[in-house]
Structure 1
């Protein structure tokens, strides 16, 4: 009887201490520059990664933050964040225990595909959660591709809203007029093909030369 009681107590204690379904290593694309620094969670259609999350961030160490912004500013070369494990749910606007900061390696290139760590064990401070939405695992097709805009100055980014399955993750850099609208745009979706710069420019009502290029485009994790 005593051993059974101890076993029951152990099971209860273990359940209480277990992490929630979003606990894991949540890699992110890192982009921005002097006008703002951003991180976009690399999502999948299964736990713990089934959320599209976009953050505005800064690096706690001022020298590292300044150096990183100089290296990223106006460029489309891919950088990624390889963070310590945490519950992604803590980034939800309604979280009772919001995540304010986390440790991460800042990697030039993809952290799982041969990227090189440039700033190790940096403290990333979460300034603002710009998007937090759970993805549906249901197979669904869409004829449109909707993009939200990140940034309010001349350096803007377009982020594809993942709203179908299969789909693609897409981050685009473009140069905007200072007073340009920050509204979302929609264009015709061509299966899983990356939209042409001309189509994005037309939706934004800007010249094609304003589209600086793709920061990140990936389909494999969203099938």
Structure 2
């Protein structure tokens, strides 16, 4: 009887979850000035949303250690979270997701990355982007990048707006007075923009581009 009741409870929970329920891996980047998480999207449910968050780790010691390890570097870190409904990260969600548990991984969590901080609690501070992706084939002649951060250390996150497309996160150092507005480049198929092209779009020096944190095309074909 207890087994039957447990199964019914699980069935009820599954029925209550919407189509965005799943394990939503994220790229993790930032440093002392802020921590950010970018959902690794696809063109099918439950992953067909581009989502960028500002976050922190609930445990102060882990948060400080992580920021120090990330600060000024471009090594890929990822978040391997518990399952949840991605729709709960929408700005107007009825039941907004305020925090979730996750392993913090140096490298890609599905491609040989090594867990550095297990079972950490991630607190969602701010939703910077939440966009549903269209599965229809389309082309764009430009690549538009959102800027994250307003100080010296900043990041560019490409807006996914065509299919096929690429997911791209770049670190750069801004000079005083640099605009925090989005930047646009000429898009050349799925080729990764060069540091020189990014520098021209930002009206800055080539050595200001710190490098690519994440670039991936396979999930967006």
Question: Secondary structure of 1:199's partner?
Answer: helix
Where does structure 2 lack aligned partners over 5 or more consecutive residues?
1-7
- Report the Cα distance in structure 2 between the residues aligned to 1:16 and 1:38, rounded to whole angstroms: 29
Counterpart-to-counterpart distance in 1, 2:87 and 2:34 = 24
Q: Alignment partner for residue 111 of structure 1, among 109, 112, 126?
A: 109
2-side partners of 1:143 and 1:212: how far apart? Answer: 25
Pairwise CA RMSD of aligned residues? 1.3
> How far off is 1:177 after superposition?
1.6
Residues 44-81 of structure 1: CA distance to partner in whole angstroms, max 9, x if unpaired?
Answer: 00000000000000000000000000000000000000
How far residue 14 of structure 1 moved from its aligned partner, in angstroms, is 4.4
Q: Give 1:179 deviation, angstroms.
A: 2.5
* Residue deviations 1:166-221 (CA, integer Å, cap 9, x gap): 00000000000233110001111110010001000000000000000000000000
Matching of residues 67-78 of structure 1 within 5 Å: 67-78=65-76
Q: CA deviation at 1:16?
A: 8.5
Q: Which residue of 2 aligns with 1:134?
A: 132
Uncovered stretches (5+) of structure 1, i.e. residues with no partner: 1-9
Question: Which stretch has the larger CA shift, 202-211 or 172-181?
Answer: 172-181
Matched residue, 2:193: 195
TM-score for both structures, normalised by structure 2: 0.94
Matches within 5 A, 1:4-83: 14=12, 17-83=15-81
Deviations along 1:108-149, one digit per CA (max 9) or x if unpaired, are 000000000000000000000000000000000111100010
Q: Distance in 2 between matches of 1:137 and 1:86?
A: 22
State the alpha-carbon separation in 1 of the partners of residues 45 and 107 from structure 2.
24
Alpha-carbon distance in structure 1 between the residues aligned to 2:203 and 2:53: 26
Tell me whether 1:123 sits opposite 2:142 in the alignment: no
Match of 2:177 in 1: 179
User: Between Structure 1 and Structure 2, how many residues are aligned?
Assistant: 212
